[in-house]
Amino acid sequence: MFDPVQFEPLGGICVITHDDAQNASIIRALGQWCDEMRVREFVTIESLRFQDTAIVHVHANALLHESAPDADMRLLASNFGFSTTGPEHELLREIFLSKAISPVASSFPSIDELFAAIRIRRNIALIARRTELWFSIDEDTRPTTHWKQLSTDAFALIAGQSLPRALEYSLCPDMTGQRYGFACRQASEYLMLAGLVQELETTNPELLEVIENRWTHAPIRGESFINAFLMERGSRERPFPKHHYVPGSRVWFKNPDEYSTDVDGFEGSWVVYMGAGKFVNLWDKVEPYPIETKCLEIYHWRHCVEHTASGALRMNEDRVKEMIEASMLDATAKQGILTQMMEYRAPVGVYGEGGCIDLTREQARWVCPQTTNISI
């Protein structure tokens, strides 16, 4: 298996090929798909060799770059009329065009993996549109029809239940009429996993069965979840542009203020990009976050830390909302905050400098039976 990092300098989308016949077949299939999606006029599809590897390379042409200078997806959404309530084909177009214009390449071992990755991102964005939870640090809840609580704070899948449905029931109140308690990191993991396992139902049901069996006794969380299911792209040496996001990406916004990070759950914010310039609002699905609001929210955490009667730190979230509203009405104050917060974040453990913007993006691993790099 190849190392996707080696192709990052090419930007766009790279699909590995093995011979001329396969090369031609992939170009035809991509061309046909682009015609169906009405995006052919915005991309160039070509074959080339890079570091002794034959690839099909899909990248933005001048017309697409004009629509999104500096790969700013807010401008792409505005210029193409994308929304978070639009039809599925519009979401697929946004995913593909966003990947094509990315200055950090996404690479795939087959065209099947590319199309699976697009569908996974679609799944994540669609379920994010329906997600609404209540914020909890130590009182997490799940639908008891699908989950059982372990002795730790983890929840295991009840044997015989479908993991894709269990995740959907946990995230989407339109399924149960209830909202469940989550911290943002666990919620973002559920969103990413939900999109992935929905794809596995048709692409790789054997792998889905393995994951479901694991979830009945030892759910995977935190760093282990990242290692098992996600790939991180970008680096401090080759960061993503500050406003380049692809629907279905998990994104970390760092809190650069050290004092307020001592409040549990406010070290930063894990979110998923829904598309159309908006990030999922896990707590209010009708008000997804534009990046400006997310930056203002994290900035004002430093002003809204309180002590409980027992001396513990807590965040006054009502006060945070008030301060966001005040900053939105003061153009000068708003611009000053955004200038500060829309800088790349400082390295891990460093506070008092940098903003909240991450240099990397997380995406689902490969899922097809012959090429998956998911290891349970």
Which residue range is the domain that position 79 belongs to? 4-128
Predicted TM-score (pTM) of this structure: 0.95
Contact 302, 256 (CB under 8 A): no
- Asked if the structure places residue 110 within a domain, the reply is yes
Beta strands per DSSP E along 109-210: 134-135, 147-149, 155-157, 181-182
- Asked if the structure places residue 98 within a domain, the reply is yes
**In this predicted structure, what is the pLDDT of residue 136?**
87
- The angle formed by the CA atoms of residues 90, 105 and 275, to the nearest 5 degrees, is 25
Cα 224 off chain centre by: 17
Give just the sign of the alpha carbon dihedral 210, 13, 119, 28: negative
- Asked if the structure places residue 164 within a domain, the reply is no
Cα 286 off chain centre by: 19
Query: What is the edge-to-edge ordering of all strands in the sheet holding 13-16?
Result: 43-50, 53-60, 13-16, 106-108
- Asked if the structure places residue 200 within a domain, the reply is no
- Asked if the structure places residue 19 within a domain, the reply is yes
DSSP string computed for 87-124: -HHHHHHHHHHHHHH-SS-EEESSHHHHHHHHHHHHHH
Residue 9: φ, ψ to 5°: -60, -20
**In this predicted structure, what is the pLDDT of residue 38?**
96
- Asked if the structure places residue 222 within a domain, the reply is no
Closest CA to 368 of 20, 34, 108: 108
**In this predicted structure, what is the pLDDT of residue 153?**
74
- Asked if the structure places residue 202 within a domain, the reply is no
The total number of structural domains in the chain stands at 1
- Asked if the structure places residue 122 within a domain, the reply is yes
How is residue 157 written in tokens? 């899948």
Q: How many CB atoms lie within 10 A of CB 276?
A: 24
Cα 247 off chain centre by: 7
Place of tokens 């790099």: 373
**In this predicted structure, what is the pLDDT of residue 218?**
93
Q: What is the pLDDT along the chain (376 residues), one digit of tens a residue?
A: 778 888 999 999 999 998 888 999 999 999 999 999 999 999 999 999 998 899 999 999 999 999 999 999 999 999 999 999 999 999 999 999 999 999 999 999 999 999 999 999 999 999 999 999 999 877 899 999 999 999 777 899 999 999 999 999 999 999 999 999 999 999 999 999 999 999 999 999 999 999 999 999 999 999 999 999 999 988 888 899 999 999 999 999 999 999 999 999 899 999 999 999 999 999 999 999 999 999 999 999 999 999 988 888 999 999 999 999 999 999 999 999 999 999 999 988 888 889 999 999 999 999 999 999 999 8
